Amino acid sequence: MNFNVDKANNKIKVEREFDAPLAMVWSAWTESELLDQWWAPHPYIAETKSMDFREGGMWLYCMIGPKGERHWSRADYKTIKPEKQFVLLDAFCDENGVINKDFPRSTWSNIFKQTEETTTVNIEISYDKLEDLEATIKMGFQEGFTAGLENLDHYLSTQFRLRKENKTSNKARVTTYLNFPGKTEEAFNFYQKVFNGRLTGDGLRRFGDIELPAGAPPMSEADKKLIIHAELTILGGHVLMATDAPESMGFKLVEGNNMHINVEPESREETERIFKELSEGGQVTMPLADMFWGAYYGSFKDKFGINWMFNYQKTE
């Protein structure tokens, strides 16, 4: 990362390289669900109130401090060239987006460039006056923004690594997904013996084997030993998948919500189409969204009471 203060031209220039493809980096900067995961420096968290990513649109969000205090900001999008550049005008404001004129505004130009293996983002932040730039630096902008970009680097590297490890083909498939309150390993050892099955994918992968997103609550040593994902191929090539969902992580399993039909379409568009049509008249428990393990994921109970999960994971 390069961070330079150009006082002669009232600008801050930042260059940051990420070990991830352009599409992933662009999404992380332009989708509110992803921005909320990295934008705020620890111990703050970002929370979007509304986002309309288009020329003339606005992102309204707040930074929530460790004591619950909220600091509101808005970004007004001026120019958007998909996966190449966007320009915005930022400002401090209140929860309704009314601009606080006691603080300076600045214009951001973010340019995205992909090399063979990485993506570089060049950020140029312009101020009307030198005093505005200096006031921003005094407020700790460099330290805070650097921490935020480190959050993004962690998110992208973790998601990209999991995506490459967990999905080697975009071929569509349907599997059965099971949830256990802490007995996934015991159950899958039993199923493997009965069916003379074969552990596939990453086999039995534990919570302690992965890097959780920034801001995730600390995990006990016992929970680290639980299974985050298991995959077992049984009769006729059918795949059983499972995860531990214990009460210590906020889950409450009962008969009826511990089993899903897991659908993995070949494209994001097909995922959205089937999800929308199949969930009509049912109850969506988790809308489709990009998840930290690399999947575009959502779940629902259809109008007949059947539980479904959708996982689209593009190969790189």
pLDDT tens readout for residues 121-160: 999 999 999 999 999 999 899 999 999 999 898 878 766 6
29: confidence class by pLDDT, cuts 50, 70, 90: very high
pLDDT at 303: 84
Options 3.30.460.20, 3.40.50.150, 3.40.30.10, 3.30.530.20; CATH for 2-165 is: 3.30.530.20
How high is the mean pLDDT of the chain?
Answer: 87
Kindly tell me if the per-residue pLDDT of 1 is higher than 70: yes
In angstroms, the CA 50 to CA 52 distance is: 7
pLDDT tens readout for residues 171-200: 778 888 888 888 889 988 988 887 788 887
Name the percent of the chain lying above pLDDT 90. Answer: 46
254: confidence class by pLDDT, cuts 50, 70, 90: low
- 38, 18 Cβ separation under 8 angstroms: no
- 87, 109 Cβ separation under 8 angstroms: yes
Domain spans in the chain, listed from the N-terminal domain onward: 2-165, 169-312
pLDDT at 4: 96
The CB density around residue 13, as the number of other CB atoms within 10 Å, is 16
pLDDT tens readout for residues 71-108: 999 999 999 999 999 999 999 999 999 999 988 899 99
Helix (H, G, I), strand (E, B), or coil: what is residue 265? coil
Q: Which residue has the tokens 């990295």?
A: 38
Kindly tell me if the per-residue pLDDT of 315 is higher than 70: no
CATH topology of domain 169-312: 2,3-Dihydroxybiphenyl 1,2-Dioxygenase; domain 1 (3.10.180)
pLDDT at 253: 64
